[in-house]
Chains A and B, each alone.
Chain A
Amino acid sequence: MLTLNNINVYYGAIHALKGISFEVNKGEIVTLIGSNGAGKSTCLKTISGLLRPKEGTLSFKGNDLTAVSAPEIVSRGISQVPEGRRIFANMLVSENLDLGAYLRKDKAGIKEDMEKVFSLFPRLKERRRQLAGTLSGGEQQMLAMGRALMSKPELLLLDEPSMGLAPILVKQIFSIIQEINSLGTTILLVEQNARMALSIANRAYVLETGKIVLSGDSKELMESEEIRKAYLGG
């Protein structure tokens, strides 16, 4: 569904992604793992059009995405949950969700999806008349995910959904990610919490300083000696 081919991204003189190539197939959960500064978030930002690759091609469902603007990419079915949630703090929960559906015109479909989001995240329904900034960290993460789902994406990009959350909440969020996937949304997950990410993903790519150093089935990777040492704590 999504194919990256030899992507090179620079921040000024800094070469952040050095020839990354990978693919995500329909219906999968694919995870990118790696330590700080490996280029995971840069990768997601490139896919969602917030950054431009200097070299390489990016295609989604057979169409080239390399020169497509960020708003257009959303309308083609890729939605991103940005790192650190980035909700609209001074707006109501319901207004945040409405903005997620900003590019859609089908009012009935938007309403239906709002109900879907509320059934995935019952807490958001309880708090829909509350300012988003007053939610707890976990609830804000749920809101950010719900907001991204409101654009009815075929591919959902998740940037560190576990950031700053208690282990029990992380578990909850990850089981919701699996549920979203089972409802038919393909997921590309970027995580530092390699153990959690590998446990729900079908396949994984390991990034180190802008390069993919390992890839494969996530079960196999979990067993591999290198991964255990580097990311899973022995």
Chain B
Amino acid sequence: MKLFNLKNALILAALIAVYAIVQMTAVAGTLSPFYLMTLVLVCVYIILSVSLNLITGYTGQLAIGHAGFMSIGAYASAFIVVKMQGSLISGLLFGALIAAIAGIIIGVPTLRLRGDYLAIATLGMGEIVRIILLNTDYLGGATGFSVPKSVDWTWAFWIMVVSVVIIRNFINSSHGRACISVRENEIAAEAMGINTTKYKVMAFTIGAMFAGLAGGLYANYMYIIQPMSFSFLKSFDILAMVVLGGLGSITGSIIGAGLMTILSAYLANFPEMRMVIIAVLLILLMIFRPNGIMGNKEFKLNFLISKKER
């Protein structure tokens, strides 16, 4: 596949257009700060849901501790930026690194096992991280950790784009295909000579790393981070986005994250109703589109290029 063809050019043009429209209206003041914040959060949640989709949708490992990795990334990056006076970039990279290391620590022992152990272990991990943060006064404890706001729309948008491209390329590589074969049939994958544990750990670590990156963006945008906002409900929110969009579809995850985040923003004034409406939405989805909005298909612009290039 050629890198520069009509399809890729069009995608790039569309991305630049979306970026520019939001940026210009934000600078001009026609876009209210509330909507801008929602759009930045959409970017953060897209990174979270696409990275969780790599673990759950493509590699088939149910993980419900994504908020835990997000909080690790958020606090690690805030630590660098606030306590060490580091730059935003070094903070984001450090957050991603620490989250990836946490991913390896959780992944190596649990991913050797088949079944639901990973779900239980990640759920527990998320809660443990939250409790530890809650009791660490050095990082603000329950009152929260103030972080100066240094992330803006430009940062959030382009880091989101780069993250999605990296995950997409990973999935389309031979490593990605090995991950999908683990989901399809672990025994057959092993019989083909695929080291299934290695690929499960690899997918899980990459997923955790991007969750950490998203956490870093979140921390450096929201002025303050609190352990409370990374509870297991957040993990389920992210999982719901992935399921809503379709397990095994990146475009699905993007749609799911966008839909859920915008919906949550509109329902911010009725927090009780929010969970009810999202639950109803998911039930309707289960009845009418059991595989999610996109199923495991991707929205593609392939008709724009000749068959040979696909």
In the bound complex, how far is the Cα of B192 from the Cα of A147, in angstroms?
8
Chain B residues whose CB sits within 8 angstroms of the CB of A100 once the complex forms: 192
Which of A86, A91, A147 is B187 in contact with, Cβ under 8 Å?
A: A86
Work out how many contacts link A and B, with CB atoms closer than 8 A: 65
For residue B190, CB closer than 8 A to chain A, the reply is yes
Of A69-77, A117-125, A193-201, the stretch lying at the interface with chain B is: A69-77
| Chain B residue with the shortest CB-CB distance to A48 | B191
**Number of A residues contacting the other chain (C-beta, 8 Å)?**
28
Question: Could you say which residues of chain B place their CB within 8 Å of the CB of A91?
Answer: 177, 180-181, 184
Whole-angstrom distance between the alpha carbons of A100 and B193 in the complex? 8
B56 to chain A, nearest CB (A): 15
- Distance of A177 Cα from B229 Cα, bound (Å): 60
Q: Does residue A23 face the partner (Cβ distance < 8 Å to B)?
A: no
**A103 interface residue (CB < 8 Å to B):** yes
| Pair B184/A70 contact, Cβ less than 8 Å | no
| Interface presence of A232 (CB below 8 A) | no
Residues of the A chain whose Cβ atoms lie less than 8 Å from the Cβ of B191: 48, 50, 70, 74, 79-82, 86, 148
- Complex alpha-carbon distance, A147 and B188, angstroms: 10
Q: How large is the interface on B (under 10, 10 to 19, 20 to 34, 35 or more residues)?
A: 10 to 19
A103 to B193, CA, bound (A): 7
The residues of B that contact A22 with a CB separation of less than 8 Å are none
Q: Is B146 an interface residue (CB 8 A)?
A: no
Point out the residues of chain A lying under 8 angstroms from B193, CB to CB. 70-71, 73-75, 102-103, 151
B190 touching A88 by the CB < 8 A rule? no
Q: Is A99 an interface residue (CB 8 A)?
A: yes
Tell whether, in the assembled complex, residue A95 and residue B190 are in contact, meaning their CB atoms are under 8 Å apart: no
Given contacts A69-B195, A74-B193, A95 and B177 within 8 Å (CB-CB):
yes
Q: How far apart are the CA atoms of A120 and B192 in the complex, in Å?
A: 20
B185 interfacial contact with A, CB 8 Å: yes
23 A-B residue pairs with Cβ-Cβ distance under 8 Å, sorted by A, are A69-B195, A70-B191, A71-B195, A73-B193, A80-B191, A81-B191, A82-B188, A82-B191, A86-B185, A86-B188, A86-B191, A87-B188, A88-B184, A88-B185, A88-B189, A91-B184, A98-B177, A99-B178, A99-B189, A100-B192, A103-B193, A144-B188, A148-B191
**Interface residues, chain A, CB within 8 Å of chain B?**
48, 50, 69-71, 73-75, 79-82, 86-91, 95, 98-100, 102-103, 144, 147-148, 151
